[in-house]
Structure 1
Amino acid sequence: MLPIVLLSVLSAVYAAVVPQLGFESHLPSQVAAGVQPLGKNVTINGVLTYVTLPKKKFDPKIAVLLLTDVFGLPSPDNLVLADQWAAAGFATFAPDYLNGDALPPDGLGNITAWAVNHGEAQTTPPLLAVVNALKSRGVKQIAVTGYCFGGLYTVRLVQNNTVTVGTTAHPSSLDVPIDFEVVKAQSHVPIEINNAELDTGFTPALAVETDSVLDDGQYPPGYLRRQFNGVGHGFAVRANASDPVQVAAKNGAFDTSLAFIKKHLK
């Protein structure tokens, strides 16, 4: 997987790197006591993966690949979110592309130190191992949905035409607009972004800059961005149940991504 290619055709001369945001920029876990994930951890091509399946009949040739934030599979919020995708009718796979070393959800971890051992060289191989295994098992269409840290890898998979459709919420670690210039230059995969008004990473200004590359029919495969006001980074994964603005934003982000994926599955 090439992180950035075809730079010679890019018109952008300035890029802003979207920072990774640590514990202080996320709500603590919002999963209610007693709520248990419905799926199970299995090993796929050597990679621990949370697998959750619909209760009703589903198409085994279609899969949702859920790429978590920095808190990974130990976070119950990520697992419950994966279950939500399964409830929507998709076999859902959340690989541990953090290699068993997710950022602690208690605020004790240092995002800067953690990031040193979680660059693309470390995280891409396990991700692609699961993608390749799914394809070898007969999965014909993969919809990727990435949150925060996982947003970078949604864009990478879109750039390289590895998946059928991609969605992301409050992505981090991207170069804007360069990463989206790469999408425009070489991809045929539709992409959708949910962003937050109060995000200090993928800010509204960077979202608008992304629009300047992909919006208004500039990207024929399909592009959609939806901004949710009154919420900040991480809103699509965790919402305070007593705050109707947060709840509506989280539900809205899921519904928007779901509709986009359904529209663009072949």
Structure 2
Amino acid sequence: MARMRDLKKEKKSSDSRFKRFIRLWLNLQRSTLLRLSVEDEVALKSAEEAHHALIQWFTKHNKGVLTKPTCQNLGGIPSYVVGFPDPKLAMVAMILVSDVYGFEAPNLRKLADKVAAAGFFVAVPDFLKGDPYNPENSKPTWLKDHSPEEGFENAKVVIQDLKSRGFSAIGAAGFCWGGKVVGELAKLNSIHATMILHPSFVTVDDIKEVEVPLAVLGAEFDGDSPPELLT
């Protein structure tokens, strides 16, 4: 992950030290930005190997029992919860913040299960109050009652609940609508690592206020997060 507040240099995949660099990504300086080219097979192979090694490490060192998914309240917020509930066994507590289609979206829950299997305690809170967006209705009207700002305030409550359970390391990933929620969380010191994917409503000024490691993932033809904006 790279802190995008004060990027000072870039490391290209053509760098002879690339393979070592990607394998040490957990110790990256926050002023470093790494670019990957889909045409650079060596770079992609190294990145994939590093990711595989990381997952293997989590699996090897985690001796806990992966719990079955349940729905429970975190700070009074209904949440889909899965993973290792013992903070001594889970590597990190992860909060996944949904897009406008809510915490019951099947693909989001499948992703939560996959993240949990890698050694995490995962929570997917219902920040939309049981009322996900219906494409047949007006989105501007819906957003008035489901603002990311309100989601951000509720997320802080969830974080406090996780801390009360003993989790000292907490990360968050937000998708589209949830990207704004996590972008706001990244401005706080109460969370340790963040990721926003195809974020909506996030501005360059927001990024300048980030205080923790942040990864921004946008697709090649992503209108909201085009490559030229991310770099």
TM over 0.5: yes
Partner of residue 115, structure 1: 143
Q: Is the Cα contact below 8 Å between 2:152 and 2:182 reproduced in 1?
A: no
Report Cα offsets for 1:60-88 as digits up to 9, x if no partner: 47201111111111211111111111111
Contiguous gaps of at least 5 residues in structure 1? 1-37, 209-266
Q: 2:183 and 2:190 mapped to 1: Cα distance?
A: 10
Q: Equivalent of 2:208, from 175, 181, 193? A: 181
Q: Which residue of 2 aligns with 1:102?
A: 132
Residue equivalent to 1:195: 218
Q: Deviations over 1:152-194 (max 9, x none)?
A: 122211111221111121111112x2111112xxxx4111111
Distance 1:60 1:84 in 2: 14
Q: Give deviations 1:112-168, integer Å, cap 9, x for gaps.
A: 221111224432232221111111111100011111111112221111122111112
SS state of the match for residue 159, structure 1? coil
- Return the alpha-carbon distance in structure 2 between the equivalents of residues 72 and 160 of structure 1: 24
Q: Could you tell me which runs of 5 or more consecutive residues in structure 2 were left unpaired when the two chains were aligned.
A: 1-67
Aligned partner of residue 79 in structure 1, secondary structure: helix
Partner of 1:131: 159
C-alpha separation in 1, matches of 2:212 and 2:153? 21
Q: Matched residues in 2 for 1:49 and 1:41: separation?
A: 5
Distance (Å, rounded) in 2 between the aligned partners of 1:58 and 1:103 = 37
1:145 pairs with 152, 160, 173, which one?
173
Give the SS at the match of 1:39: strand
Pairwise CA RMSD: 2.3
SS of the equivalent of 1:70 reads coil
**Pairing partner for 1:164 from 192, 201, 207:** 192
Q: In the aligned structure 2, how far is the partner of 1:78 from the partner of 1:98?
A: 14
Partners of 1:58 and 1:86 in 2: CA distance: 15
Q: What is the identity, as a one-letter code, of the residue corresponding to 1:84?
A: K
Say whether the 8 Å CA contact 1:99–1:126 is kept in structure 2: no
What residue is the counterpart of 1:81 in the other structure?
111
2:95–2:122 CA contact under 8 A, matched in 1:
yes
Aligned residues: 164
Could you say what secondary structure the match of 1:156 adopts? helix
1:154 is matched with 182
| Structure 1 SS opposite 2:186 | helix
Partner SS for 2:173: strand
- Residues 58 and 86 (structure 1), Cα distance of their counterparts in 2 relative to 1, 3 Å cut: farther
Cα distance in 2, alignment partners of residues 80 and 159 from structure 1? 28
Q: What letter corresponds to residue 153 of structure 2 in structure 1? A: P
Are the equivalent residues in 1 in contact too, given 2:196–2:216 (CA < 8 A)? yes
Structure number, greater radius of gyration: 2
Q: Is 1:170–1:199's contact at 8 Å kept on the other side of the alignment? A: yes
With over 3 angstroms needed to count, the CA separation of the structure-2 counterparts of 1:163 and 1:132, relative to structure 1, is same
From 73, 90, 93, the equivalent of 1:63 is 93
- Distance in 2 of aligned mates of 1:79 and 1:162: 25
Q: Is the 8 A contact 2:182 2:195 kept in 1?
A: yes
CA distance in 2, matches of 1:58, 1:195: 34
Please, what TM-score do these two structures have when normalized by structure 2?
0.65
The 3-state SS of whatever aligns with 2:112 is helix
For normalisation by structure 1, the TM-score amounts to: 0.57
Structure 2 CA distance for partners of 1:201 and 1:152, relative to 1, 3 Å: same
Name the structure 2 match of 1:44: 74
Q: Distance in 2 between matches of 1:102 and 1:50?
A: 15
Bigger RCO (CA 8 Å, 6+ sep)? 1
Letter in 2 for 1:98: L
